[in-house]
A = this chain, B = another copy of it.
Amino acid sequence: MAYHPLDQRSAAQYLKRAGLFPKAAAMTVTEIGDGNINMVFRVQDKHNGHSVILKHAFPYVRCVGESWPLSLDRIRIEADALEIQDRHVPALVPKVLHRNNEMALVVMEDLGRMEVMRKGMNKLRKYPRFADHISTFMANVLFFTSDLFLPAREKKALSGRFDNPLCGITEDLIFTEPYFDCARNNVNPALRPYCERVFWRKSNLRLEASKLKEKFLTQGQCLIHGDLHTGSILANATETKVFDTEFAFVGPAAFDPGLLVGNLFINFLALDGKEFTQAQKSSYQRYVLESVREIYHLFELKFRKNWDDHSKEPAFAVAGFQDYYLRQMFADTLGFAAAEMIRRTHGLAHNIDVDEIQDLERRRDVQVSILETAEEIMLRRGRFRRMDEVVAVVGHRGRSTGIKRSRKSRN
């Protein structure tokens, strides 16, 4: 079948023809994507309530239009990544029900019973199983798709399958544009003076971002999710599902834990600008920091266990190498976390965690606090030994002194 773009009507017809719904089904099709890049439909059979999610690509970036063309192959890549993740963490990703590379679409189970974690976190929802689940997701996918486990040729073949056209978006939006006054940045007007007078003059930060960019471009360690923030995770009290793997490629292992930790730190610091009671904020902030600590602790523990139990490569069983690898991965995780905190503050794509703060001055205070915290993490990333130390730094900046200090530093 030659590619043609689907709308709600033709999407329903397609799914019937593909045998996913009976011919007689009365279907409702709802566009649910808050995605900037692709179309996402929920398709439901009114009779029995059965529903699926259909994700479909146009040959351009959806939120921008035809002026920003983008290969349709990205859906093939997303479906491939989902299938590989499903092999290593079957409970933690949506099931692929049907895929069609020509048509640039993939049909997945509907996980509507679950909420996007970012939304839940901004309502102070806690996820008691999350640290355990997401640490398993990262430890398994990142280990079992790396040279630590796969024979080198299989790893290279994997790498070749994930020549992802979306990487360029990350390269520009995370590592380049936030470090200067780029037209595509989305800068809170109240924050602009700080960016102009302070942030965009920090050549040391720009240098660290360039080092990370080079790593992102060249370090093909394992199949990473590539966009592992709380908006790419569905969660409830008992389950966790990672979705939106369209950015997947063979890149630096630290990128996934980095983005995740960066987003959790943003959520933590954003709370200072919100309307909850002090007791609510303080309890949730403790929860968020404890989550970061637990996630990274469990991630390292499970990664090491996979390594001890499953690595067949003698060169990687050499005394000291595992510690060396994890130390590098930790420093890089902090670097990517800091880069994510920065780009979500005044780059093109923001987090609602911060942007739902309506008062722009107040939002600015939170943003400066995020930028200053990110700076400290970025510049000290090679000297931190354990996530506890980083959490202590962030905790200190957030809970009480954070906003005050930001004010001071702007004068």
Contact = CB atoms under 8 A, between A and B. Distances in A.
A336 interface: no
B153 A168 contact: yes
A218 B324 contact: no
Given A147-B217, A218-B219, A324 B168 contact: no
Nearest to A206: B318
A152 B168 contact: yes
Contacts of A175: 315
A49 interface: no
Dominant secondary structure of chain A at its interface with chain B: helix
A207 B152 contact: no
Contact of A211 (B156, B167, B218, B321): B321
A163 interface: yes
A211 B324 contact: yes
A316 B210 contact: yes
A163 B163 contact: no
Contacts of A321: 207, 210-211, 214
Contacts of A117: none
Contacts of A180: 314
Interface in A127-149: 147
A150 to B, nearest CB: 10
Contact of A218 (B168, B204, B220): B220
A315 B220 contact: no
Most buried by B among A152, A155, A221: A152
